[in-house]
Amino acid sequence: MRAYERRFLAAVVLAGSTAAVGADAASGAAPGAAAPEAAVPGAAAEAERLFEAGRDALLRGEFARAIEILGKAVEADAAKTSWRLHLARAHRYAGEDGAAAAQLERILAEAPDHHEAGQMLAEIHAAAGKWREVARVLEPLLAFRHDYPTYHLLAEAHSRAGDVEKARACYEEAVKLNPASAADHYQLGTIYLAGNSFARAVDAYATALRLGIDTPVLRYKLGSAYFNLRNYFGRTRVRTAASGAAGAIDGAWYLIEPCGAAENAFLCAPEASAAYQLAKALADGMGDRPDIHVLLATTYLNAGRCAEAYARFTAIGPKVPEGDKALFLYYHAQAAFGTGRYDEYLALLGEAIALDREAYGSTLVDAYLKVADRRNQAGDLAGYTEFLTKAVGETPANAALHLKLGNAYAEAREYDKARTQWRMVLDLEPDHPERMRLLNRMAR
């Protein structure tokens, strides 16, 4: 080898050695040491591969395998919340809700705004009937996102937990975000009805009905709302019904009674009325419910249709449960009074009082006075004084009743009895406004 060739080769070797030393120095390795393996990039790639394999297994329905592979992926990179969410899904699909909930709690601890994890965890608690846990999970998420599923589930949670006001607020937000949700309108109507917001209840139930919920229970509740608004028969009109009878449903109308000389002409109540909705509930499958029959009979009573009310009360009476009997007897008594059956009125009211004196005992004096006034209107002075005397017997310290009875005796020309009653008025109220007038009348 020539001399200049040897010098060139030595220079090349020296340059190579210098470059290697420079590379070692830059990497912090000792000169001549073996090159380190690319451990971190390789582990990340392997974790990604595990996640993809686990996700594919999940989507193929291989849940046990998905749990195994995704668990390894999460162990390799615990910071990937999306991977942990897939692992939670796999546990949930496999029926392992406890394990799924643990993964979701971990996600929310690290990312409180993770709406998807919160929603899934809330659904797990809802399935277990843990409604307060549902609220605990979902309420913080409202600070980050307002959407329909959150408000819908939160409304149900508050409702099941008995927090009606929070449930109402959430259902109101839910129907704003999803106006087509018939179920939410229905639930909102029920809350309004229970809270005596009857006009709002009518709107909510009517919307649910329009959106497709048409059940006898909804009709009953809608009828109850109309009843409490005193919309008993709505805007009635005369229509011709090709077939049917009073008390039947004919399309969008309730046939109240035959009307006029025209054949098949009926006075009808529209859908927007208590009578229609209650009759529709009965016709659609709730015919064995005495409470609905009683409410329909009371609809007639409150509308002044006492004869029909009396007939309906009489028919349903034997089927009324004992727990509802006192209230039923009270309304039945009012129908009897409205049809001029005064003895039966007092008898039925007496039965109601016997069952619940605390609720109805105070009505007896008013009942005697009502019957007394009807006797007086009929020119029956003996009957008038008879029932006034019974009223006085129930409240003997009532000066106004003694005065009324004394005047009744005077009208019947029974002056001695009249004077006795007037003296009792002054005994009870020495400074009675009519003192001088009564003294003068007693002196005659």
- Domain holding 238: CATH number? 1.25.40
Contact 153, 183 (CB under 8 A): no
Collect all residues with Cβ–Cβ distance below 8 Å to 110 and sequence separation of at least 6.
Answer: 81
Residue of 243, 254, 306, 261 whose CA lies nearest to 277: 254
Contact 328, 318 (CB under 8 A): no
Question: 161-175, 209-223, 430-444: which has the minimum mean pLDDT?
Answer: 430-444
pLDDT tens string 315-366? 999 999 999 999 999 999 999 999 999 999 999 999 999 999 999 999 999 9
Q: Is the pLDDT of residue 60 over 50?
A: yes
Q: What is the arithmetic mean of pLDDT over 381-394? A: 96
Residue type, 423: R
DSSP, residue by residue, 24-63:
HHHHTPPTTPPPPP-HHHHHHHHHHHHHHHHHHHHHTT-H
Q: Is the pLDDT of residue 6 over 80?
A: no
Structure tokens at 58: 């999940």
Q: What is the arithmetic mean of pLDDT over 294-300? A: 98
Q: Is the pLDDT of residue 33 over 50?
A: no
Q: Is the pLDDT of residue 394 over 90?
A: yes
Please provide the average confidence, as pLDDT, over all residues in the chain: 90
- Band (pLDDT 50/70/90 cuts) for residue 29 is very low
Q: Is residue 215 part of a domain?
A: yes
User: Would you state the pLDDT for residue 332?
Assistant: 98
Q: Is the pLDDT of residue 263 over 90?
A: no
Q: Is residue 237 part of a domain?
A: yes
Q: Is residue 236 part of a domain?
A: yes
Question: 26-35, 138-147, 175-184, 388-397: which has the minimum mean pLDDT?
Answer: 26-35
User: Would you state the pLDDT for residue 261?
Assistant: 67
Residue of 215, 349, 320 whose CA lies nearest to 277: 215
Question: 38-52, 238-252, 322-336, 385-399: which has the minimum mean pLDDT?
Answer: 38-52
Q: Is the pLDDT of residue 386 over 70?
A: yes
Contact 193, 204 (CB under 8 A): no
- Band (pLDDT 50/70/90 cuts) for residue 40 is low
Domains: count for the chain: 1
Q: Is the pLDDT of residue 7 over 50?
A: no
Q: Is residue 191 part of a domain?
A: yes
Identify the burial level of 231 via C-beta atoms within 10 angstroms of its C-beta, where 0-12 means exposed, 13-18 middle and 19 or more buried.
buried
User: Would you state the pLDDT for residue 241?
Assistant: 87
Q: Is the pLDDT of residue 74 over 60?
A: yes
pLDDT tens string 207-259? 999 999 999 999 999 999 999 999 999 999 999 987 778 999 999 999 999 98
User: Would you state the pLDDT for residue 311?
Assistant: 97
Q: What is the pTM for the complete model shown?
A: 0.81
User: Would you state the pLDDT for residue 264?
Assistant: 86
d(CA 53, CA 70): 8
Q: What is the arithmetic mean of pLDDT over 127-148? A: 95
Q: Is residue 438 part of a domain?
A: no
- Band (pLDDT 50/70/90 cuts) for residue 410 is very high
User: Would you state the pLDDT for residue 71?
Assistant: 95
User: Would you state the pLDDT for residue 32?
Assistant: 43
Q: What is the arithmetic mean of pLDDT over 24-43? A: 48
Q: What is the arithmetic mean of pLDDT over 407-418? A: 94
Query: Edge-to-edge, what's the strand order for the sheet holding 253-258?
Result: 237-240, 265-270, 253-258, 249-250
Q: Is residue 248 part of a domain?
A: yes
- Per the structure, the complete domain to which residue 264 belongs is given by 179-284
